[in-house]
């Protein structure tokens, strides 16, 4: 990977190589780094929100962090850094287009964050990584980030004393490392149903709730 893409010159190039190695290519792969990187990213974003939003309450900051570190958001950054083109993967995973999959890209981004942290420490990691999130941070409504679709749907129904929505898993497909889910969201009053897809059951339910909100024509 070109150093100028991620903004860090690795002292230990082996860390970067491991961060960009999917488990389908064999060990050492990036899953342990991904675990560490997940924690580092959450801390970086929590710290940034805490400092930038001095009057925001815990709920607002929690929702903002969830939006910034969700799989799709991390995958978007990974594409900006062109991580997909640099991933080392097994032949089957590469053939199936794994280097373009959100879940794999998000995991790789977290692994790269961990690699930077281990290579040069927290302060350097923060200086390198936070700029990746700057556009998304700046786009958030200060102190009042948009609630996720499931929360907005639930609050809309509760505000009208109507039954809460029901969620069910309709379909689960794909290999263990590349699962795809289809979830269904149903409301009883009004009687509506909508489906959503995602790389996790949670993401699929969020997509289904968003689709149902569109049917209800509820403004954000």
Residues 166-189 have pLDDT tens digits of 999 999 988 776 788 999 999 999
Q: Give the pLDDT of residue 108.
A: 95
Q: What percent of the chain has pLDDT over 90?
A: 58
Q: Which two tokens stand for residue 166?
A: 């029901």
Q: What CATH topology corresponds to 3-139?
A: Ribonuclease iii, N-terminal Endonuclease Domain; Chain A (1.10.1520)
Is 107 within any annotated ligand binding site?
Answer: yes
What average pLDDT does range 102-126 have in this prediction?
A: 95
**Cβ–Cβ < 8 Å for 23, 30:** yes
pLDDT of 49 above 90 = yes
Domain positions in the chain are 3-139, 149-216
* Residues 6 or more apart whose Cβ sits within 8 Å of residue 168: 183, 184, 186
Q: Give the pLDDT of residue 144.
A: 59
Dihedral of CA atoms 139, 60, 49, 51 in degrees, nearest 10, equals: 120
pLDDT tens digits for range 146-166 = 678 898 899 899 989 999 999
With tokens 């997509």, the residue in question is 207
Q: Give the predicted TM-score (pTM) of the model.
A: 0.67
Element (H, E) at 172: strand 166-173
Is 205 within any annotated ligand binding site?
Answer: no
The residues annotated as belonging to the active site are: 38, 110
- Please check whether the domain covering 149-216 is classified as CATH 3.30.160.20: yes
**Cβ–Cβ < 8 Å for 30, 24:** no
- The CA distances from residue 25 to 33, 103, 110, in Å, are 15, 16, 18
What is the number of residues in the chain?
220
**Cβ–Cβ < 8 Å for 124, 131:** no
Domains 3-139 and 149-216 share a fold: no
Q: What strands, in cross-sheet order, belong to the sheet with 166-173? A: 166-173, 180-188, 191-198
Q: Give the pLDDT of residue 27.
A: 86
pLDDT tens digits for range 191-200 = 999 999 988 8
Q: Give the pLDDT of residue 2.
A: 40
Q: Give the pLDDT of residue 145.
A: 59
Distance CA 215, CA 154 (A): 15
């Amino acid at each position: 990977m070109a150093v100028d893409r991620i903004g860090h010159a690795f002292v230990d190039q082996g860390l970067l190589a491991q961060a960009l190695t999917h488990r389908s290519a064999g060990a050492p792969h990036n899953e342990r780094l991904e675990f560490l990187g997940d924690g580092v990213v959450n801390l970086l974003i929590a710290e940034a929100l805490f400092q930038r939003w001095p009057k925001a309450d815990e709920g607002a900051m929690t929702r903002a962090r969830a939006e910034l570190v969700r799989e799709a958001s991390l995958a978007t950054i990974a594409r900006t850094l062109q991580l997909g083109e640099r991933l080392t993967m097994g032949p089957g995973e590469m053939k199936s287009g794994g280097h373009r999959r959100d879940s794999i890209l998000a995991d790789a981004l977290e692994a790269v964050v961990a690699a930077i942290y281990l290579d040069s420490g927290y302060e350097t990691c923060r200086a390198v990584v936070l700029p990746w999130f700057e556009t998304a941070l700046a786009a958030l409504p200060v102190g009042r980030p948009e609630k996720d679709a499931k929360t907005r749907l639930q609050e809309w129904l509760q505000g009208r004393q109507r039954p809460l929505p029901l969620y069910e898993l309709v379909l689960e497909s794909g290999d263990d490392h590349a699962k795809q889910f289809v979830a269904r969201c149903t409301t009883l009053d009004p009687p509506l149903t909508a489906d959503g897809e995602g790389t996790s059951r949670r993401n699929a339910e969020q997509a289904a709730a968003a689709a149902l909100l569109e049917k209800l024509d509820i403004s954000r």
